Amino acid sequence: MDVKSPEQDKKVTDNDTPTDTAQTWMKFGTMVDGIEASQLTQIERLSPIALAYIGDAVFELYVRSKLLMPPKRMADYHNQVVTQVRAESQAVHLSVLLPHLTDEEKEILRRGRNASTMKPRRLSRQIYQQATSLETLIGYLHISDPERLSELLAKLEFSSIDNRQ
């Protein structure tokens, strides 16, 4: 069996940047939980605000899909959706999900909470930060683990929040 020292295992690329075997495998698509390792690195590089941007859209689409039945007037449908996706409701949804989150997911929440630097106009900074952190988690899971996202979203109860907020 041919055993190589760590120095022999390194390769030199055209631009003289050494790469070891692990980096080579990363470049050529080693899978980690169904996601290419290089894609995981790119996801981790996304800012929490970018993840929240995606998470906001994903959450609204989920709520729209969930509330679509039974058929109703468009204005009623719209009002129900708006009630569920507003920051105050997202803070309530976050409190429901919190006991079910892993440590990694809680870290994503923390990053999202700390990234919300805008001063909200109509609500407290705490509510705004909670909503942003939930959107960040949803965006992260949408990209990295859609099954886990579905599992968490299934725990939400939309009838517990009504239109009177």
Is 56 considered catalytic here? yes
Catalytic residue among 20, 56, 76, 145: 56
Cβ(127)–Cβ(87) below 8 Å: yes
3-class SS string, the chain? CCCCCHHHHCEECCCCCEECHHHHHHHCCCEECCEEHHHHHHHHHCCHHHHHHHHHHHHHHHHHHHHCCCCCCHHHHHHHHHHHHCHHHHHHHHHHHHHHCCHHHHHHHHHHHHHCCCCCCCCCHHHHHHHHHHHHHHHHHHHHCHHHHHHHHCCCCHHHCCCCC
Is residue 41 within 8 A of residue 130, CB to CB? The reply is no
Catalytic residues: 56
